[in-house]
Amino acid sequence: MNYSIRNPYAISWMLPFVLAIGGVILDYVSTGIGLGMGFYEIHPQYSPLWALLCFLGALTILTLTLPEGRVWRVAKNGLALASYLGFVNNMLVILGIFSGLTCL
C-alpha cells in the first residue's frame, strides 16, 4: 500500500493524530501563558505528555479496532477535536469571559 502524503487514505488516517497533537500543544501553550499571568493550574498533576499519551492511545485503539467508514472516521476526528477543549477553556479564562474552575 502506498503511504505517500498525497494518498487520500494516508491523510485521512493521520488527520486525527495531527489534530490531537495540535490541541495538546495549544493547551500547553495557553496553560503556560495563564500561569505567567498569575493564574494557577487546578489539576496539580497536569502534564501535556500524559494528555498526549491519552489522546494518541485512544485514537490508536480506535483506528485499529473500528471498521472503515465515514461515521467511524468522523467519530475519530471528533475525539481528536476534544483535545482543543482545554485550549478553549484556558483562552476564556485568560480573556476574562469565564472565571475558571475553583477548588471547594
pLDDT in tens, 13-69: 888 999 999 999 999 999 999 989 988 888 888 888 999 999 999 999 988 898 888
The band of 72, judged by pLDDT with boundaries at 50, 70 and 90, is confident
Return the domain boundaries, the chain: 8-94
CA distances from 34 to 4, 20, 92 (A): 39, 21, 11
| Angle subtended at Cα 48 by Cα 43 and Cα 53, rounded to the nearest 5 degrees | 115
> What pLDDT shows up at residue 33?
93
> What pLDDT shows up at residue 44?
81
Is the pLDDT score of 104 beyond 50? no
